Chains A and B, each alone.
Chain A
Amino acid sequence: MEFKDNEAIYIQIAAFVSDQILMGKWPAGQKIPSVRDMAVELEVNPNTVMRSYEFLQGLEIIYNKRGLGLFVADDGFEKVKAYRKENFVRQNLPELFKNMYLLGISIDEISLQYQNFQAQQKNELN
């Protein structure tokens, strides 16, 4: 995994776990890799992975079964989605709006592009 320069590593690891849940690779009840295995896989300090997992536990996306490890919460998928949506609205949307404003792109133009995108995604899935 290549880390980006503009975000703390622990947040990027949390995002990686969230991606696995959103993509359905790690469904509800799935055990997630141990701190050590994740640290080895990503070549990072185990304390950093610990912090990512604590962060995700705080958001109740994963939970700790004493002695057994960490598992994806029953509503982990919904929790990730809600958290991501909130982030998108807070961080990405203002950036998008700023670019639209600077480049004079109307909301209708975006809407059309988005409809095309949706159709494409559906085709790819079918």
Chain B
Amino acid sequence: MIQINNLNFSYNSKKPLFKNLNLSLKAGHIYGLLGKNGAGKSTLLKNIAGLAFPQSGKCLIDGTESSKRLVSTLQNLYFIAEEVYVPALTPGQFLERTAGFYPAFSITDFYSYLKILDIDPDLLMTKMSYGQQKKMIIAFGLATNTGVLILDEPTNGLDIPSKVQFRKLIASVLNEERCIIISTHQVRDLDSLIDTVLILDDHRIVIENSIDELTEKLFFGVFKDLTGMNVLYEEDTLMGRYAIVENTAGKYGKMDLELLFNAATTNSGKLLNALKPATSHE
């Protein structure tokens, strides 16, 4: 559904952000995009959404370059930015003026999402708190029913009950025609929601694996003794060595996204090698 080929991008010609970055995303999945501050997560999302233009290479959505900003592409794409902008309208008025751009928009869904997220449809959005504005835009974005849904740090500013509702909503809107990409630092908010992990580091995508694949190949755990195991990454803890080892016993453990992230962004050679054969671009 989304295909990025040899993407090069920089804001400053001396400091390239992406160098020949490749990525392929399919419908029916929720992708979690992780990266350090400044790695370029938001910029990558903007390139996908046609809000930033590649210096070279291509970002394709269903075979069309998103930088062309064709109506047929944009009406099937919704981008929820980290900092939302809201006009001085009520959600109801916003709906009347904006929903028409999205042919698959569902008014019923919109009002039901507003209700679930506890947003007053008759309150001026400029009078809402930051969290409420964000929830309003999330409700709108989900109701567009676009094939591509991009969310940049969606849980920032959401209170605890809203995070629960957010996870339930995302779980309910995924279908086989929809590709959802979520960038986040709050891995614990989303770790059971995403099915494929994307880690952006060192100008490229270093990890592009499904959680099934990762737990098949890797085992995460605390070990007293690591001899005889192929240790891919380890950290010291009071309980012992908290490590990622090659999964040779065929055990299915739970993945720790934080540990995986630390491993992928520091001395990642061993880890990436262990994952290499399966990193296919089908």
B250 to chain A, nearest CB (A): 12
Indicate whether A109 reaches chain B with its CB closer than 8 angstroms. Answer: no
Q: At the interface with chain A, which of B142-150, B163-171, B198-206? A: B163-171
> How far apart sit A44 and B164, CA to CA, in the bound complex (Å)?
11
> How far apart sit A55 and B253, CA to CA, in the bound complex (Å)?
16
Q: At the interface with chain A, which of B2-10, B49-57, B67-75, B188-196? A: B188-196
Indicate whether A101 reaches chain B with its CB closer than 8 angstroms. Answer: no
Q: Number of contact residues on B: which range applies?
A: 20 to 34
Q: Number of contact residues on A: which range applies?
A: 20 to 34
Residues A7 and B171 in contact in the complex (CB < 8 Å), given A43-B192, A47-B195, A48-B192:
no
Indicate whether A9 reaches chain B with its CB closer than 8 angstroms. Answer: yes
Contact of A8 among B30, B168, B215 (CB under 8 A): B215
Q: Which residues from A are CB-within-8-Å of B192?
A: 3, 9, 42-45, 48
A33 to chain B, nearest CB (A): 12
Contact of B171 among A4, A11, A44, A51 (CB under 8 A): A44
Q: Which residues from A are CB-within-8-Å of B121?
A: none
Contact of B167 among A3, A7, A8, A43 (CB under 8 A): A43
Q: Which residues from A are CB-within-8-Å of B221?
A: 6
Q: Which residues from B are CB-within-8-Å of A6?
A: 221, 253-254
Q: Which residues from A are CB-within-8-Å of B174?
A: 39, 45-47
Indicate whether A40 reaches chain B with its CB closer than 8 angstroms. Answer: yes
Q: Which residues from A are CB-within-8-Å of B168?
A: 40-41, 43
Q: Which residues from A are CB-within-8-Å of B167?
A: 43
Interface digits, B149-193 against A, CB 8 Å rule (1 contact, 0 not)? 000000000000000100110011010000000000000000011
- Most chain-A Cβ atoms within 10 A of its Cβ — which of B167, B171, B194, B221? B171
Indicate whether A36 reaches chain B with its CB closer than 8 angstroms. Answer: yes
Indicate whether A5 reaches chain B with its CB closer than 8 angstroms. Answer: yes
Q: Which residues from B are CB-within-8-Å of A45?
A: 30, 171, 174, 192-195
B28:A43 contact, CB within 8 angstroms? no
Indicate whether B62 reaches chain A with its CB closer than 8 angstroms. Answer: no
Residues A48 and B195 in contact in the complex (CB < 8 Å), given A3-B254, A8-B253, A43-B164:
yes
B254:A7 contact, CB within 8 angstroms? yes
B189 to chain A, nearest CB (A): 10
B254:A47 contact, CB within 8 angstroms? no
B195 to chain A, nearest CB (A): 5
Residues A46 and B171 in contact in the complex (CB < 8 Å), given A6-B221, A9-B192, A51-B212:
yes
> How far apart sit A27 and B168, CA to CA, in the bound complex (Å)?
27
For A4, the closest partner residue in chain B by CB is: B254
> How far apart sit A79 and B19, CA to CA, in the bound complex (Å)?
53
B251 to chain A, nearest CB (A): 9
A47:B171 contact, CB within 8 angstroms? no
B171:A8 contact, CB within 8 angstroms? no
Q: Which residues from A are CB-within-8-Å of B58?
A: none
Indicate whether B252 reaches chain A with its CB closer than 8 angstroms. Answer: yes
Q: Which residues from A are CB-within-8-Å of B28?
A: 47
B258 to chain A, nearest CB (A): 12
Enumerate the 6 nearest inter-chain pairs by beta-carbon distance, A residue then B residue, closest first: A43-B167, A8-B252, A39-B171, A44-B192, A45-B195, A47-B195
